[in-house]
Each structure stands twice: as structure tokens, then as C-alpha cells.
Amino acid sequence: MSAGQALRHWQASRPARPQELDPALLWSALTLLLFGLVMVYSASIATAEGSRFTGHQPAYFLIRHGVFLAVGLIAAVMVFQVPLRAWQQAAPWLFLAGVVLLVLVLVPFLGREVNGARRWLPLGLVNLQPSELMKLFAVLYAADYTARKLADMGSFRRGFVPMALVMALVGGLLLREPDFGAFVVIICIALGILFLGGINGRLFAMLFVFLAAAFVALIWFSPYRRERIFGFMDPWSDAFGKGYQLSHALIAFGRGEWLGVGLGASVEKLFYLPEAHTDFLLAVIAEELGLAGVLAVILLFALIVQRAFAIGRRALQLERVHAGLVAQGIGIWIGVQAFINMGVNMGLLPTKGLTLPLMSFGGSGILANCVALAILLRVDYENRALMRGQAA
């Protein structure tokens, strides 16, 4: 090993100092995590106090979410120590492990079914949701695949077909649960990374048209999804049936006006709005903190996505293709999922069952998000270390 290589290795492996991390990314992520903790507590007090399952403890969801957040942050610190090269080498095996978990969810007596969906593996005190981990594994695998196949990105047979077959397998498993929302997010991750990796433009356009037709077919031939679409288009036509969640979410937005009714003063969370602390957390934020609170959340997510793409672009300029695609893939994941959740809450998109990243209640989601952000910060840290090494 040369002296320059030894210096770069030492710089990449030593503990990070605060000034060596992207401050905008770090503080916006921490703000959303802590803000989410406050809002989960506010949105869940009535539900926790009125449920026998929670022992009528008002702070039940706050305590659990706080534990999830602590575990996620500890995992993030540990993951940050792992070089990107190790993640690239482990990507195929992590992806395979994710597929195995998706299969186990569908096995009777192993997977847990809630509200007609089988998406969880019971692990004693907590439930694991493999689809949340699969989003992270999809980012790592798609980035590794694209980095290895850069020379074949213009080829339909060598560049596109292998990835399409793998994603079709994952998509089929997710639709069996069913988890249409996770399916959409993972497909967007794979397509986005392939596009950024330089896939043939004509092939990408054909693929986009095919997927659009497939989505329409999946919705049209599924009565459950078709009812959700029609309910989304006019929730007030059946406000006590298929349009119940959306109508109450819209009421929450309307009540919030500019500055909201005040933290903790939401009425919709009092057993009117289902899943207030998970899928419809933004509606509670809108009611309690108004347009100002919603805009603050949107701006923080936009900043995280912008920093992810900036970090990825810098890595690509440094010829770190895999690291760059991982960073931008994480940006796609967080951006797409946040956009879908916000669109559902605002009545712009049909309900998907997707949580708001970094904020909504859920152990698997918080863990996956924290690990993803740690990897993103690691990409930025290695970028800075390499640039310092080049300058030296």
C-alpha cells in the first residue's frame, strides 16, 4: 500500500468530526425525527388512552416510538462506521435476505395479518415489516447492479432484463401481502437508479409506458384498489364508507388554516381519523400547526432530498459510481415515499398505506430510515476524505 493510499484509508476509517458531516442533511433529519416523536405523541394520546390493548396508557405509543428512535439512532451510529465498499459487497446477500423475509411473511402461522394485509413478522415484543427493510436493500442492490453493468446499460437483454426479473419477483411478493405502496416505492427506486446509471432513453420510455399500463391493470382488476380510486376521486360521496379516512383528513387540513388550532388541540385525532399516528400524521400536523407546520415539513424533506442528490453527484464526480447511486437512490426513496404520503393526506393521491418517513410511528420504518441516512452521511464523509486526500 502506497503512502497516499494509507492516508486515504486512515481518513476514511477514523471517527468523524461534526464539521466533516453535511450539516444541512444532519440537522434536517434530526429535526424531522424529533418533530415526529412529538407529533406521534400528540396524535396517539386519545387512541392509547381508550384502548385495552395499550393498557389505557396515554404515553404508550410515545414510549414505544421513543425506543424505536433510540434503537434507530444507535444502529445509525454503528452503520456509519461501515465503509461503502462493504455495503457494495454485501448488497446481493442483503437483497436475497430481504426476499426470504418477504416469503416468510406469506407463510401461514409465521406472518401476522392486520386489516386483511399480511405484512409483519411477529418477534415477541415487536413486529418486523420486511417491506421497509426491502426498500433499503433495493437501493443497495440496484446501485451495485448498475455500477457493475454500466457498459451494458444500453442493452435490453444484458442491462435491463436481469433487473426487471428480480424486481418482478419482489413486486409479486409485495402484491401478495398486499402492499401496493411499498411496491410503487421500490419500483421507483429501481427505475430511478437505472435512469441515473444511463439506461437507454428509448428503452426507459418504453418501460415507463408498460409500467403505467400495468398499474392501470392492477387497479382495474382489483375491486379493492378500484374502490380506493373512486373513493379518492370523490370522498364526500361516501364519507362514512370508502371515503371516511380522506374526508376526515381534509377536515383536519381545513380546520388548521394558516397557523393551526394549537399543538395537542386536534379534534380529528379523537377517534375520528383512523391511523392518525401512522399514515395520516401529516393531517394532524396540518390541524394543529396549520399551513406553516405543513410547509416546514415539506421544506425539510425537500432539503434532505436535495442534499442526497448533491452528495451523490459529488461522489459521481469523484468516480465513486456505486456510492453516488446509493446516495441518489436514498434520495429517491425518501422523496417518493414522502410525496405519496403527503399526496394521500391532502387528497391528491389515493390511499396507499405508506407512512411518512422519519416521522410516523413504526419500528421497522424508523430503523430503515435511520440506517439509510447513516449510509448517506457515510457517502458524504468518504467524499470529503477523498477530496482531502487528493488535495494533500
Amino acid (one-letter) located at 386: L
List all residues 6 or more positions away from 52 whose beta carbon is below 8 Å from its beta carbon. Answer: none
SS3 content of the chain, % helix, strand, coil (to 5): 75, 5, 25
**Burial category of 59 from C-beta neighbours within 10 Å (exposed 0-12, middle 13-18, buried 19 and up):** middle
Among 78, 86, 83, 89, which residue's Cα sits nearest to residue 10? 83
Q: What's the pLDDT score for residue 17?
A: 58
| Cell (9 digits) for 44 | 396517539
- pTM for the whole thing? 0.92
Which one-letter amino acid corresponds to residue 166? V
Q: What CA–CA distance (Å, rounded) separates 249 from 165?
A: 38
Measured CA distances, 4 to 9, 320, 388, 392 (Å): 9, 18, 11, 9
- What distance in Å separates the CA atoms of residue 166 and residue 287, rounded to the nearest whole number? 42
Q: Which three cell numbers stand for residue 218?
A: 392492477
DSSP per-residue string spanning 109-154? TTSEEETTEEEEEEETTEEE-HHHHHHHHHHHHHHHHHHHTGGGTT
Closest-CA residue to 242 (of 267, 225, 220): 225
Distances in Å between the alpha carbon of 233 and those of 246, 353, 357?
10, 17, 25
Helix (H) / strand (E) element for 337: namely helix 321-346
pLDDT digit string (tens) for the chain, length 392 residues: 444 454 445 444 455 554 578 999 999 999 999 999 999 999 999 999 988 888 889 999 999 999 999 999 999 999 999 999 999 999 999 999 999 999 999 998 888 887 777 888 998 888 899 999 999 999 999 999 999 988 888 777 887 788 888 888 998 899 888 888 999 999 999 999 999 988 877 777 877 777 777 777 777 777 766 776 666 777 877 777 778 888 999 999 999 999 999 999 999 999 899 889 999 999 999 999 999 999 999 999 999 999 999 999 999 999 999 999 999 999 999 999 999 999 999 988 888 779 999 999 999 999 999 999 999 999 999 999 998 877 76
pLDDT score of 392 = 66
All cell numbers assigned to 34:
424529533
Residue 112: what are its φ and ψ, rounded to 5°?
A: -100, 130
Contacts of 76 (CB under 8 A, 6+ apart): 370, 371, 373, 374
Please give the Cα distance from 368 to 196 (Å, whole number). Answer: 23
* Amino acid, single-letter form, for residue 367: L
pLDDT at residue number 16: 55
User: If you count them, how many residues does the chain have?
Assistant: 392
What is the structure's pLDDT at 313? Answer: 97
pLDDT at residue number 7: 42
Reduced to 3 states (helix: H, G, I; strand: E, B; else coil), residue 56 is: coil
